[in-house]
Amino acid sequence: MEPADRELIAKAKNNDKQAFTVIFDRYRKKIQLYIYRYIGDYQRAEDLTVETFLSAYNSLAEYDERGLFSSWLYKIATNYAKKELRQKGRRPGEVSLEMPTMEEGGGALGEMISDERSRPDFDIRGSELKELVYKTMSGMKDIYKDVLMLCDVEGLSHEEAAKILNTKTTIVTTRLVRARKMLQDNLKKHGYKP
């Protein structure tokens, strides 16, 4: 049985670098894919993933153990991704929808795209659907894009997303309902039945 995050973090706080290496191995792919979707640049996403983990390691004393470590890590990654986009003059939330496989922990949006893969005409419909979802999300306000990215693409809970976004769970839930409705309406308008 693998050690829990809390156990590993406690060891890492006592300068156990091996414990933090386990944490890094556990979350690296998820964080890198999340940052990549956010900024759309794979090389930069790799760099920002390393920066995220370095920042987390250097700030372990600030981590509040009452919350999930993964939420804290996503919050750091979100800050780095938004900063990167600001520096490049792009709006935060212009997402890339390279969907994770199910073992990578994708949320409802990833499942919807995966369901399309079973269709015989997937190559055409799948790429069209991805492009339509991308365009729809890119046109949304950041408050809606962020909750879709965290909950429906990353598969995080409403509580985790609320901690990352510094807001209440009820606000995340309300925004997610609105964002899903916007996405669903646009998909229906183009002949997709989500």
Q: How far, in Å, CA of 181 to CA of 21, rounded? A: 40
Q: Are 17 and 63 in contact (CB under 8 A)?
A: no
Which pLDDT tens digit goes with each residue over 98-142? 444 333 444 555 544 444 444 443 344 456 777 777 778 878 888
Which pLDDT tens digit goes with each residue over 59-104? 998 988 888 899 899 999 999 998 998 888 765 444 444 444 333 4
Q: Which two tokens stand for residue 88?
A: 């490049």
Q: Phi then psi for 163, rounded to 5 degrees?
A: -65, -40
Q: Are 142 and 38 in contact (CB under 8 A)?
A: no
Residues 88 and 103 in one domain: no
Residues 151 and 103 in one domain: yes
Q: How far, in Å, CA of 6 to CA of 65, rounded? A: 7
Read off the pTM.
0.71
Which pLDDT tens digit goes with each residue over 141-188? 888 988 988 998 888 899 999 999 999 999 999 999 999 999 888 888
Residues 134 and 182 in one domain: yes
Residues 194 and 104 in one domain: yes
* Coil/strand/helix, residue 92: coil
Residues 150 and 168 in one domain: yes
